[in-house]
């Protein structure tokens, strides 16, 4: 088993595709439609994993509570995904240079002095975590 | 970049830990607490990725709409994660033998005759997808 993909409902398929390509370096994979759901879908690829974007007609905005880690955890469910990096400060600086704002400082996972994280949001307000594993090995 | 982790808010840390160990084969990694959030947290590991479970006091139940793929997509946000398997029928049968119920049949991604998926839920109602990539390579 590995974790190949996460699925997002997004407001605008083209704008979100452009954001993931420009900010995070994803590439287009393939697109399809699901007529019964009035959905347009696009897979984007980054190395060995993908994000699957769904644009569904009339989708409701994300609740404000989902947009910070602390408030998001107050409702049971899937909250965030994490991307591993070898050097979290370098990755943060790289993303800031592309116009991305972080919503937390780089901090240590409380139980560990070696693992560090920082949160940002995609263009839909969805939480994404940068994560530097113990030893900085990013696979 | 790789995708090392997904974060869940759960109703019961011990029950969810037991579920991920018994049903999906995860192992305990480490646990910690976040006193300002009244949160208990546990990392579970499966090969090279992890799930991070957060139990926050007073967390609200997941909205019913999040519990099926079609209704979940009607609200913008992070919707599901996918686990890659080499043989989706074998993986489904293995999980069914452990008491897990699938909420969709095994189906092809519409644009492809080679990629297949099926959805189930964890013990919190969170959507998880089994995904057989093109060629069945599961890494």
Which chain B residue lies closest to A131 (C-alpha atoms)?
B4
Neighbours of B68 (CB within 10 A): 15
> Which of B91, B83, B79, B88 is closest to B126 using CA atoms?
B79
- A115 touching chain B per CB within 8 A: no
Residue A49 burial class via C-beta count within 10 angstroms: exposed 0-12, middle 13-18, buried 19 and up: buried
A78 to chain B, closest Cα gap in Å: 5
Residue B47 has what pLDDT?
85
ipTM of the complex, rounded to two decimals? 0.90
Tokens at B128, concatenated: 């998880």
Residue A3 has what pLDDT?
66
Question: How many contacts (CB atoms, under 8 Å) link A and B?
Answer: 208
A135 to chain B, closest Cα gap in Å: 14
* Least confident range of A21-25, A90-94, A110-114: A110-114
Selected residues 89-108 of chain B with any CB under 8 Å from a CB in chain A: none
Selected residues 23-52 of chain B with any CB under 8 Å from a CB in chain A: 24-25, 30-34, 37, 39, 41, 46-49, 52
Q: Provide the residue-wise pLDDT of chain B in tens; the chain has 139 residues.
A: 666 789 999 999 999 999 999 999 999 999 999 888 899 999 999 988 899 999 999 999 999 999 999 999 999 999 999 999 999 999 999 999 999 999 999 999 887 778 999 999 999 999 999 999 876 554 4
The one-character DSSP state at B102 is B
- From chain A, the residues in CB contact with B32 under 8 A are 109-112
Q: Is A19 helix (H, G, I), strand (E, B) or coil?
A: helix
- From chain B, the residues in CB contact with A78 under 8 A are 6-8, 78-81, 126-127
User: Over the range B5-40, which residues count as b (16 or more CB within 10 Å of their CB) and which as e?
Assistant: bbbbbbbebeebbebbeebbebeeeeeeebeebebb
pTM: 0.92
- From chain B, the residues in CB contact with A119 under 8 A are none
- From chain A, the residues in CB contact with B57 under 8 A are none
B34 to chain A, closest Cα gap in Å: 7
Q: Is B114 helix (H, G, I), strand (E, B) or coil?
A: coil
Contact B80, B119 (CB under 8 A): yes
Residue A114 has pLDDT above 90, yes or no: no
Distance of CA A72 to the CA centre of its chain: 15
Question: Cβ–Cβ of B84/A30 closer than 8 Å?
Answer: no
Q: Point out the residue among B56, B63, B75 whose CB comes nearest to the CB of A9.
A: B75
A106 to chain B, closest Cα gap in Å: 16
Beta bridge partners of A33: A40
- The DSSP code sequence of A59-126 is PBPPPGGGGSHHHHTTBSEEEEEEEE-S-HHHHHHHHHHTTPPBSS--EE-TT-SS-EEEEEE-TTS-
């Amino acid at each position: 088993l590995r974790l190949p993909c996460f699925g997002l409902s997004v407001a605008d398929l083209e704008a979100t595709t452009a954001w993931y390509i420009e900010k995070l370096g994803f590439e287009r994979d393939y697109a399809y439609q699901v007529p019964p759901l009035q959905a347009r879908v696009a897979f984007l690829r980054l190395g060995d994993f993908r994000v699957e974007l769904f644009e569904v007609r009339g989708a409701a905005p994300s609740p404000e509570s989902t947009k910070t880690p602390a408030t998001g955890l107050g409702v049971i469910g899937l909250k965030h995904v994490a991307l591993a990096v070898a050097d979290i400060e370098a990755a943060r600086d790289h993303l800031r240079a592309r116009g991305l704002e972080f919503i937390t400082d780089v901090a240590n996972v409380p139980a560990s002095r070696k693992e560090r994280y920082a949160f940002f949001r995609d263009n839909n307000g969805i939480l994404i975590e940068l994560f530097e594993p113990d030893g900085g090995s990013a696979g």
